[in-house]
Amino acid sequence: MAVRATVSRFPIDADAQENSGLPWGVSVTPFASKDENGRPPAYGSDAHLLPRCEHCWAYFNSYCDLEHWAWTCALCGTLNGLSSKAIARFSNPESCPEMMSSFIDLELPDEGSGGEAMQSRPVYVAAIDLSSSEEFLELTKSALLAALEALGPGSLFGLATFSHKLGLYDVQGPIPVVKNVFIPPDTEGALPIELEDVMPLLQFLAPVETCKDRIEAALETLRPTTSWERTTAAGQGIDGILMGGRGFGVAMEALLNYLGSEYGNIFALARIFAFLSGPPDYGAGQLDTRRYGEQYASKGEDADRALLPEQTPFYKELAAVAVQAGVCVDIFAVTNEYTDLASLKFLSIESGGSLCFYPSTDDSTLPQDMYRMLSRPYAFGCVLRLRTSTEFKPGRSYGHFFPDPQYENVQHIICCDSYATYAYDFEFANNVGFSRHAPGFPIVQIAFQYTVVVPPEELSSSLSSSRTGHSLKRRLRIRTIQFGTAQNFNELYDSVEPEVVLSLLVHKVILASLEQGVREGRALLHDWLVILTAQYNDAYKLVHYKNGASGTSLVDVAFSQCPQLQSLPRLVFALLRNPLLRFHEEGVHPDYRIYLQCLFSALEPSSLHCAVYPVLTSYSTPDLQAYPRHSLSRAALITSGSPIFFLDAFTTLIVFYSSTADATLPFPPPQDCLLRSTINELKKDRCITPRLIFIRGGQDDATAFENYLIEEQDVDGSGLTSVMGFVSFLEDVKQSVLEYLK
């Protein structure tokens, strides 16, 4: 569990927090195997015996004062009695993880009858869009073949297709058999028959280890439904317009009900991989894509605002069905047409799944992403709870979870991998704040309860009679962190973590964009930097007034007296130039913007930093690094004089050979060189597979690389300006600071 705060020393009170201009909060990656410093937790058992505070329900931890019969809660100061079991447990502190470490991971007792572990098999269902092209189906087949390689023995796999009909495949016989049910075209319609009556669920879900060849054979039979077949089935639609035949909404609803009937019996978690080649346009859940087009010019609507909210609650309501059914839905949209991911996204992110977007089948990394997703460990049925000491409390929480309907500050996560990250704002509980003289320190405690599937080969011999079953293990991971307090602004600013500040800012501007439009999100970000700069200048007494006016040259917009703040203007500038916040008229596709919102709001801070302001490195040769970091400008390229540049933009990796590079340098770089090793290491550690591009300057089109050199671009996207973009941006911030300080 990695936990990083925006400031390592917390503000002393509400006035200090507000006057600093800094966001105050933490990012949490609960299922990360180590903490932010690379340390693993102390493992143990009997989590149910861990004492809890009678007042605030915090767990006993290494910061608590322990007496013979009692302990004092480090969060609220309550004196709690100890049970006889706890006294016996604590009599041998070396065997108690909670006394040895502030980061623990304890096993909870099995909930099955007779103390036996509940048996459950991982279930995976592929739902494939047949209202598509041959290229789309070939890519999907490749992705599923990769998925089958990643699935462990004992897994169950089901194959379904959808268009104007829903197809279920039985691959357990000698040849694959498909049974189809026609989807009603009306927007309120449901399937006329239960899927259990079409094909029993255990006939549909095939064991991967015995049916892999027949699953692959079934995939080879997939063909796109013809346009004649679709239009004949669809008939006339709304206002006499011929409707399509992609009944995605009805298909998903039917599959969720189909699987949900056996939740807790056959499986503890099922995953549906939904492969989509365009917008749902048939039956319940169909989306009107006519809202994306030239109508904004005629109606005077703001496209940056109108295209971000969902047009129907259907998929948000379907996500609630998925949660109840114990099903996580991953959506893989492979399309260059408007698909309205703003409406579809809820089905994936609120059920604990991923939303992946590929504008083209040509250079799609879908097969690699599928393999990567299924190869890494994941937890499910997770509950996340953050507690604080009494002086402050959690404010808003951010991330892909759904809040508990009954308890405050409790979040449920259906499926969580080691990359998934969440964030919290803090606020003071009163006007007093932290004491300047008392020995107490601010404390944050994060509890993460989760379930993991233990494969058959890892089970103990006592369970050997059930070799095909997977065992479920429920665990409790707790991290308790003590922070310092800043006695003045110098201490507060010196303790800033810029990457975590960026993470909270991204969450806030995404929220503002969704509620009030992209323009408002940009304004919020710009105003935040102006206020921070003004507060910093005021705290360091840098602006001096003469006859009621201040000189612009005296405003320090580069934060020259505080190294920890110096990267923030560049990060804000880069975020304003990111497609996340660029204007619609700059050619930013609304689906791509939604995809970035979903991606960025789940990234841990270091990865997000890389995605917003890419890392540009130079090499003298493929085996010799020249400089570890350059600013993203053409001037940096020219002045460095290096022949090779490597740009890491998180989703894209670019190797660029300058036009003046020695012709004897091998292109592309050989597999056994330092540059290739660096690339391979980066790819291995990513949650998604980055695209790798090689460009030879002077011969290849270098636009993909040059687009990342943002510092000479105008912040509003009006092209190259007469003065350099980042420089003029700082000048604008300086003028705004003076206006603010007047």
Per-residue pLDDT tens digits for 120-137: 788 999 999 999 999 999
Confidence bin at 458 (pLDDT 50/70/90): low
The domains of the chain, with CATH numbers, are: 1-31+377-458+468-474+482-493 (2.60.40.1670), 42-100 (2.30.30.380), 123-233+240-299+327-375 (3.40.50.410), 615-707 (3.40.20.10)
Cα 148 to Cα 151, 156, 281, 396, 433: the distances in Å are 5, 10, 30, 40, 55
Looking at residue 426, its pLDDT comes to 95
pTM of the complete model? 0.89
* pLDDT tens per residue across span 611-653: 999 999 999 999 999 999 999 988 888 888 899 999 999 999 9
Rounded CA gap, 525 and 504, in Å? 11
Q: 327-367, pLDDT tens digit by residue?
A: 999 999 999 888 999 999 999 998 888 999 999 888 889 99
pLDDT digits (tens, 9 = 90+) for 204-229: 999 998 999 999 999 999 999 865 55
Beta strands in 133-264, from DSSP E residues, in sequence order: 156-162, 165-170, 177-182, 206-207
Q: What is the DSSP letter of 302?
A: -
Judged on CB neighbours under 10 Å (0-12, 13-18, 19+), 8 is middle
Where is pLDDT greater, at 364 or 309?
364
Helix (H, G, I), strand (E, B) or coil at 739: helix
Q: How many CA atoms lie within 13 A of 76 on its CB side?
A: 15
Compute φ and ψ for 174, nearest 5 degrees. -65, -35
Estimate the crossing angle of helix 208-220 against helix 134-150, to 10 degrees. 170
Would you state the structure tokens that stand for residue 486, as one six-digit string?
Answer: 């800043």
* Average pLDDT of the segment spanning 446-474: 69
Span 297-321, mean pLDDT? 74
Q: pLDDT of 645-671, one tens digit each?
A: 999 999 999 999 998 888 889 998 999
Confidence band (pLDDT; 50, 70, 90) for 239?
very low
547-593 per-position pLDDT tens digit: 555 555 678 999 999 999 999 999 999 999 999 998 877 778 889 99
Helix or strand or coil: residue 476? strand
